[in-house]
Structure 1
Amino acid sequence: MTTVTTVTGAAERESVAVSELSRDPEGVVARVATLGRLRITDPGAPDLVLATAAHEAYDVEGLTVVARLSLALMRQDGAAAALLPALVEVYPWARHLGVDEGSAFAGELLAALAEVTDPGAGDAVRRVITSWRATAATNVAPEPPTDPPRPPNGA
């Protein structure tokens, strides 16, 4: 039995159960060739994605264009000041970063994006975002009390 999942958004995504891959590998490969990408689901394991090399190349090309355009825009006068509000729009937690921290986050993110075509670049971008999200969470965490709580009067 084939499990088909549709995800709303820019593109529809289909998926098949891993059992379908073992039962009908040629049919699954044909679907990958037609769709460009197909998610393989297994209830006991993380999903896998099969993609054609051409589809993957289009994804890398799109990321490269976005990264290069972002870097070029950042070189324009006044762009750094505009980037901080944009970061907060994309990452609402970034509002908890100070100005210097926000600038550092932007710089690290842009540096990681500049390497988007290198193997492992996605991991570098994810590490930057995860690290700065943790910093923002630390900035809003309540400080532990310095004195132990006192019992109420009369207790």
Structure 2
Amino acid sequence: MKHEPTARALVTAMPETFPWVRHLSAEELRAFAVELVEALSDAAQPEVISGWRATARIKADPALYAEARKPTSGDCGTVNIGE
């Protein structure tokens, strides 16, 4: 939300996702947009952004991408969840 065109585009698109924002004033809508982006930024950092960054890195390297797309078989080992 640091760039005015980005903020304007977000505020313009919000009624499609959140129809109820039509009942907010322009100032309230902008405040909601800022708060929403901050919340998403805080929440998305660890999992979502890291996952998409990893996907992009693998796709950027043709050899890694080809290896990642190969079928697997058998036991791939223990999965540790929550560590």
Please tell me the TM-score bracket, short chain as reference. 0.3 to 0.5
Structure ranking higher on relative contact order (CA contacts 8 Å, 6+ apart) = 2
State the TM-score, normalized to the length of structure 1.
0.27
State the TM-score, normalized to the length of structure 2.
0.47
Which is richer in strand? 1
User: Rg larger in 1 or in 2?
Assistant: 1
Which is richer in helix? 2
